[in-house]
Homo-oligomer: A and B are copies of this chain.
Amino acid sequence: MILTMKHFILTAALLLCVAAASAQPARRGAPKINDDLSVTFQVMAPQAREVGVDICGKVYPMVREGDGPWRVTTDPLEPGFHYYFLVVDGFRASDPASKHYFGTGTDASAIDIPEAGVDFYLDKDVPRGDVRLERYWSPSLKTWRTAWVYVPAEYDNNPRKRYPVLYLQHGGGEDETGWTFQGKTDIILDNLLAEGKCEPMLIVMDYGQAGDFAKILLEETIPMVDSRYRTLADPKHRAMAGLSFGGGQSWSIGLKHPEVFSSIGIFSSGMFGGVGAGAYAPFSVESQLPELLADPAAFNAAHDVFYMSCGLGDPRIEHTRKAAEALQAAGAKVHFSAWPGGHEWQPWRKSLHEFVQLLFK
Contact = CB atoms under 8 A, between A and B. Distances in A.
Contacts of A118: none
Given A23-B144, A131-B133, A211-B21, A94 B107 contact: yes
B143 A22 contact: yes
**Total copies of this chain within the assembly:** 2
A75 interface: no
A346 B58 CA distance: 42
A215 interface: no
Nearest to A103: B9
A340 interface: no
A94 B96 contact: yes
A93 interface: yes
10 contacts: A5-B83, A5-B84, A8-B54, A12-B106, A14-B172, A15-B105, A23-B145, A25-B102, A123-B137, A133-B133
A90 interface: yes
Contacts of A145: 23
B89 A47 contact: yes
A105 B207 contact: no
Interface in A126-172: 128, 130-138, 141, 143-145, 149, 151, 156, 159, 171-172
Nearest to A46: B90
A-B pairs, top 3 by smallest CB distance, nearest first, are: A47-B90, A13-B172, A12-B105
A100 interface: yes
A152 B210 CA distance: 28
Q: Which residue of A44, A51, A133, A137 has the most chain B CB atoms within 10 A of its CB atom? A: A133
A6 interface: yes
Interface string A337-350: 00000010000000
A242 to B, nearest CB: 13
Interface in A151-206: 151, 156, 159, 171-173, 175, 180, 186-187
Contacts of A132: 130-133, 151
A91 B58 CA distance: 22
A149 B131 CA distance: 10
Contacts of A133: 130-133, 180, 186
A32 interface: no
Contacts of A187: 135
A3 B93 CA distance: 13
A277 interface: no
A25 B104 CA distance: 11
Contacts of A91: 43-45, 47-48, 51, 88-89, 91, 93
A66 interface: no
B245 A17 contact: yes
A347 to B, nearest CB: 15
